[in-house]
Amino acid sequence: QQQVRQSPQSLTVWEGETAILNCSYEDSTFNYFPWYQQFPGEGPALLISIRSVSDKKEDGRFTIFFNKREKKLSLHITDSQPGDSATYFCAASANYAQGLTFGLGTRVSVFP
């Protein structure tokens, strides 16, 4: 059973639009949720993260909304740029030292 689920699998938006990526999880002990951005041929790079004590985290054009009760979170990319075209992974951990559990990713394509 997939502990971290992401939807949609792929997403296409026009430049300037807001992309919304969804993530849900099963394990109620998860308390740390990083999002990674990965370009083809590269390793994942940390984009933004949130802890379960918060319900929102902003960093420039990237915002995480977190709903602990429903075990759901979403990543909003506002004013999407072609350079944002990448695969985005939602991850979770109860103890970050013991590693992360990843979702299967959402491939985002931004067209000019």
Residues 51-77, buried b or exposed e (16+ Cβ, 10 A)? Answer: ebeeeebeeeebbbbbeeeebebbbbb
Supply the DSSP symbol for 60.
T
- Asked if 106 interacts with other proteins (CB under 8 A), we say no
Least CB distance to other proteins at residue 107 (A): 9
Pick from 1, 69, 97, 112 the residue near other proteins by CB under 8 A.
97
Pick between residue 58 and residue 79 the one whose CB is nearest to other proteins.
58
Site residues for other proteins per CB under 8 A = 4, 32, 34, 36, 41-46, 49, 89, 91, 96-105
